[in-house]
Structure 1
């Protein structure tokens, strides 16, 4: 059984957020499902859902405050980190940290961080077991 079934995120401008999330989520191998006043992407049983904020104009979320920190997506290679980072930037996300090694975690940890207009932060990361590095 997976640790999480779904993750719901409230956004200020649903159509704009769909335009930002869709290329990234599709590049991660997810399938999109539109619903009344929401959209989701799923891969297997895990699902990420965007909802319009109940109180428009209350964002963006500020990194470091109580609440959301970031969502990390494990990928198969440093090249995949680079590819997803570029796709996110092309869809209007902002680079928080460009792709690079993070030796403070370990000598194999390669990642990038991006943020959307709502302050939602994603990490694309490659962290193979030591024997695969």
Structure 2
């Protein structure tokens, strides 16, 4: 009986998502995609509306925000492909992983820190994670 319980526990832990992993959130994905769509149109004013109040204070204007994205995150400014990966919770925070391919097709995994505000979901930061293996 003890072996059966161990086997069931191992099986369930391998097929069920961890407590920290969330189900997909279409509103979060739509926020990120809408900001990327605005970047593709060089519409930094609209892109800036998806930034959190903290990010807006940090950059002060859509122009400065756009300059930072163009210079620091070219794969976000001009992606050739966007795939949403896992959404995870860490305490009260939600992090959405996104696989972007840049204009040359190179893959980049980014993690978006998302916060819910009165205006809906907003992006409170983005970090570039380690590059995925070749062929990802």
Q: Shorter-chain TM-score category?
A: under 0.3
Higher strand share: 1
Higher helix share: 2
TM-score (norm 2): 0.26
TM-score (norm 1): 0.27
Q: Which structure has the bigger radius of gyration? A: 2
- Highest relative contact order (Cα 8 Å, sep 6+), 1 or 2? 1
